[in-house]
Amino acid sequence: MPESTLIDRFAPSPTGLLHIGGARTALYNWLLARGSGGKMILRIEDTDRERSTKENVDFILEALEWLEIDYDEGPISQAAADPRHRAAIEELKASGHAYEFEGATRLKVPDEGETIVHDAIRGDVTFQHENIDDFTIARSDGSPLYNLAVAIDDLDAGVTHVIRGEDHLSNTPRQVMILKALGHEPPIYAHLPLLHGPDGKKLSKRHGAASVQELRDAGYIPAAVRNYLALLGWGYDDKQTIFTTEELQKLFTIERVSKSAAVFDEKKLQWMNGLYLREMPVEELTALIESFTGRTGLGPAVALCQEKISTLADFWPMAAFFFDGPIDDEKARTKFLDEEGKIRLAAARDALADLENFDSASIETALRGVCESLELKPNKVFQPIRVAISGTTISPGIFESLELLGKEDSLNRIEQALNKP
């Protein structure tokens, strides 16, 4: 691999489900590596042995797999590099850059001067040495601390670009000092803006889904999530919002990432996810929905609902009545199947019963004829039918729904509604 090849890394701590902010960091690293012909490393920062359980590591791997974000090397355990970290600590002590104090090892920070972090997003960020005390790089038992381990891991992996959240910015001058004390130049850093909810506060569960797994379980699809996450801080121009993954890989640059906090708005993600679902071939969407619901034989109902759903989870509440019969929505029944509603429903039943061809076009002609004969607006006739066949006031198109149910089932449901007190 040429020396000029870009190498970046995604280095999460395994503390639970992968947060949306972490997913965006992984995505940006992946897009930059793929778009430049570079390499992305997955490193698990698992030195906290109590929290770094196999289950928590698996959560990270599971989330990346669902997002379809792959990596060229890893997962690498940071804890496994402990001997190398300890050797670097000894090297720093031998060169006079570090010393022991009360058993722990500290890096010497000059009393004067400054360390400048060259940030690809924020420009140069200056840290005055007078504000940074000599900092601990190893505990009294010799085990390395975070800043030492990260700096050595990045050095040994040949990392050229460190893309991470801005909450790491305060750590960066310490990592730069460690690398320079060892005689090495630091990589290029880029600290991403934090994610906020629509209320301007740091993103959390109160804003809805806060992890990749929650997005998956809420019925979002990976391509839409990747597209939306890419736009949380980055943009190509003022117009385009829908990008294929290939376009994102080609167009993404770290220099176009904003310094300002980005707003994660699940309603916007829902809108974008809906666009993806509506553009999808019915067969592909059917396969996704059948996998999501654990049901089979959903194709015709999926075709009817495709224009109305924004997530995979929206499908079953809208279409369940096709398979499980009408739900019992007392409020809808009281409002639309009162005495007058049943009179209209009976007229609709008679018109439908006379049909030889029970297709949506014939059904529409018959029911609009009922509206004209009763001198009523369509909704006054259609809603009682909808409540009769589905139990609710929300369904796919009424004519298509009746066709899918078939003549016998449709008339039976209408009859049951008419006979229900």
Using alpha carbons, select from 402, 311, 279, 295 the residue that is nearest to residue 352: 402
Phi, psi of 394 (to 5 degrees): -120, 125
* Amino acid identity, position 33: A
420 classed as catalytic: no
Please, where are the H alpha helices in 194-238?
212-217, 222-230
- Report residue 39 as tokens: 């390499």
Pairing of strands 7-10, 39-44: parallel
User: How many whole angstroms separate alpha carbon 143 and alpha carbon 362?
Assistant: 78
Q: Are 164 and 11 in contact (CB under 8 A)?
A: yes
Using alpha carbons, select from 381, 401, 394 the residue that is nearest to residue 332: 394
- Report residue 199 as tokens: 């209320």
Terminal alpha carbon distance of the chain: 77
Query: What does DSSP assign to residue 13?
Result: -
User: How many whole angstroms separate alpha carbon 303 and alpha carbon 299?
Assistant: 6
Do you find a cis peptide bond into 317, omega within 30 degrees of 0? no
Could you give the angle at which helices 222-230 and 266-279 cross, rounded to 10 degrees?
130
180, burial (CB in 10 Å: exposed 0-12, middle 13-18, buried 19+): middle
Give strand pairing partners of 333. Answer: none
Identified catalytic residue from 54, 93, 180, 205: 205
Q: Are 18 and 51 in contact (CB under 8 A)?
A: no
CA–chain centroid gap for 368, Å, is 44
Q: 3-class SS at 115?
A: strand
Residues annotated as catalytic are: 205
